[in-house]
Amino acid sequence: MIKIKKIVLLILLIFNFSNIKANEMKIGISTFLSGGAASSFGIPLKQGLEFMFKAINKGSVPAPYNTPGIAGKKVSFFFIDESGGSTKQVAEFRNMVQRQKVDVVMGYISSGDCLAIPSVADELKQLTVLIDCGTPRVFEEGSYKYVFRTGPHAAMDNIAGALYLKRKGIVPKRVAAINQNYAWGQDSWADFKSSIDVIFNNPKVVSEQFPKIFAGQYGTEISAIMVSKPDLIHSSLWGGDLESFIIQSNARGLFRNKTVFLSAADHVLPTVGKNIPDGVIIGARGPHGDLAPNTKLANWFKDEMKKEYNIKVTTQPMHKGAMAALFLKKAYDEAYSKLNKFPSNEEVIKFMEGLKWDTPSGEAVMALGNGHQAIQDQAIGKSKWNSDKKRVEIVDIEYFKAKCVNPPEGIKSLDWIKGGFQDAEC
């Protein structure tokens, strides 16, 4: 009798576990949990995703996202560390898909990782959402069925930066640059240099510095830039590298009497504080944080994130996480509504391609890469210390429409820039 009871109990446990699995959507997420990119970028991205998936499960996100779960399923999620390079990330990706049996893979901050993952995702037919990585090359040099990127690529950051200079009447004559020596840094500088060449008729480049990613020490590069006497400095450094560069530059007066454009800097402002002088031109890779629109969804997200994590301001990675989570919810919910069942990868892809959805950073739309690459409006401003709030704010903000700073479908960003931004809707 005891043996029969044990068998019955085991059967019930197996049944209940299977039932839970059937009503659960399992997501594996890669973000920097250690190393120089963790504190200002990887962990805030983790916080944005944690907060949003918990809110989605509770149905507490403002309409139209106020139904619990994704297509009726509760979201379960876990994080892995993106540190270690692209070879390690490919191995981790295969593990999440083949052993942990995830429904969706999300994440990836490094452009190097984002260039390595998509071909493996298509090989394994694994639905994958790239959240941040900025290199335009992902969809400009490849085409993928199972991969989407919910954040715009970096071309718009640098095009908008050049247009910001124009709007403010700043005409550069001597330009220096410091960018990390991999896809992100190389592509960012190429886009910015080409943009100012077109807009300002080829200002002189007096110094190009390409330190190794996560180098941390920039004494040699700072000296080279100072000797070259630029009136404009461009940098797409990010994470711990950007924090170190700002602190070391401030100590040596590099930014004094110069125009400085940091294309992706908002996420380090809470940590560098007064180390960044007033008037540095700041990009956030979209209208995030201080640059976010005044909408119910944006204000809810910013207010609730501040309460949840005891922070003074939301930053780019938090917003990027929210954008990706709501992209999944919008696509799966629409597919479920139309199909009257939880969709397969192949079925939901049809709803993801070309999708337009509302985010805490305004509207985004899958307009490039055959409907797999998002674009959105861009915003650029300047740093300003607020003594009352005891934090750096972004002020003197200019906004740029998505189709003003992103190329049309089927045209590579660099070709579009060099062609004079043909058909830009500014």
Of the pLDDT bands very low, low, confident and very high (cuts 50, 70, 90), residue 20 is: very low
Q: Residue 7: is its pLDDT beyond 70?
A: no
Q: Residue 30: is its pLDDT beyond 70?
A: yes
Give a three-class secondary structure readout of the chain. Answer: CHHHHHHHHHHHHHHHHHHHHHCEEEEEEEECCCCCCHHHHHHHHHHHHHHHHHHHHHCCCCCCCCCCCECCEEEEEEEEECCCCHHHHHHHHHHHHHCCCCCEEEECCCHHHHHHHHHHHHHHCCCEEECCCCCCHHHHCCCCCCEEECCCCCHHHHHHHHHHHHHCCCCCCEEEEECCCCHHHHHHHHHHHHHHHHHHCCCEEEEEECCCCCCCCCHHHHHHHHHHCCCEEEECCCHHHHHHHHHHHHHHCCCCCCEEEECECHHHHHHHHHHCCCCCEEEECCCCHHHCCCCHHHHHHHHHHHHHHCCCCCCHHHHHHHHHHHHHHHHHHHHHHHHCCCCCHHHHHHHHCCCEEEEECEEEEEEEHHHCEEEECEEEEEEEEECCCCEEEEEEEEEECHHHHCCCCCCCHHHHHHCCCCCCCC
The range of the structural domain enclosing residue 306 comes to: 2-153+293-376
Q: Residue 69: is its pLDDT beyond 90?
A: yes
Same domain, 345 and 406: no
What is the predicted pLDDT for the residue at 4?
A: 53
Same domain, 335 and 400: no
Of the pLDDT bands very low, low, confident and very high (cuts 50, 70, 90), residue 56 is: very high
Please indicate, yes or no, if residue 99 is contained in any of the structural domains.
Answer: yes
Q: Report the C-alpha gap between 46 and 40 in whole angstroms.
A: 11
Looking up residue 175, the CATH number of its domain turns out to be: 3.40.50.2300
Please indicate, yes or no, if residue 425 is contained in any of the structural domains.
Answer: no
Q: Residue 13: is its pLDDT beyond 50?
A: no
Same domain, 253 and 395: yes
Q: Of 359, 376, 393, which residue sits at a domain end?
A: 376
Least confident of 1-10, 172-181, 185-194, 270-279: 1-10
Q: Residue 277: is its pLDDT beyond 90?
A: yes
What is the predicted pLDDT for the residue at 118?
A: 97
Same domain, 384 and 354: no
Please indicate, yes or no, if residue 269 is contained in any of the structural domains.
Answer: yes
Of the pLDDT bands very low, low, confident and very high (cuts 50, 70, 90), residue 36 is: confident
Please indicate, yes or no, if residue 48 is contained in any of the structural domains.
Answer: yes
Please indicate, yes or no, if residue 186 is contained in any of the structural domains.
Answer: yes
Q: Residue 3: is its pLDDT beyond 60?
A: no
Same domain, 170 and 270: yes
Q: Report the C-alpha gap between 425 and 412 in whole angstroms.
A: 17
Same domain, 201 and 313: no
pLDDT in tens, 123-134: 999 999 999 999
At residue 9's C-alpha, the angle toward residues 7 and 10, to 5°, is 65
At residue 163's C-alpha, the angle toward residues 272 and 195, to 5°, is 100
Same domain, 372 and 407: no
Same domain, 149 and 12: yes
Same domain, 52 and 138: yes
Same domain, 190 and 102: no
Please indicate, yes or no, if residue 423 is contained in any of the structural domains.
Answer: no
How many distinct structural domains can be found in the chain? 2
Same domain, 301 and 324: yes
Q: Report the C-alpha gap between 17 and 38 in whole angstroms.
A: 35
Please indicate, yes or no, if residue 424 is contained in any of the structural domains.
Answer: no
Mean residue pLDDT across the chain? 94
Same domain, 362 and 398: no
Residues 223-238 have a mean pLDDT of: 97
What is the predicted pLDDT for the residue at 14?
A: 42
Q: Residue 37: is its pLDDT beyond 80?
A: yes
What is the predicted pLDDT for the residue at 210?
A: 97
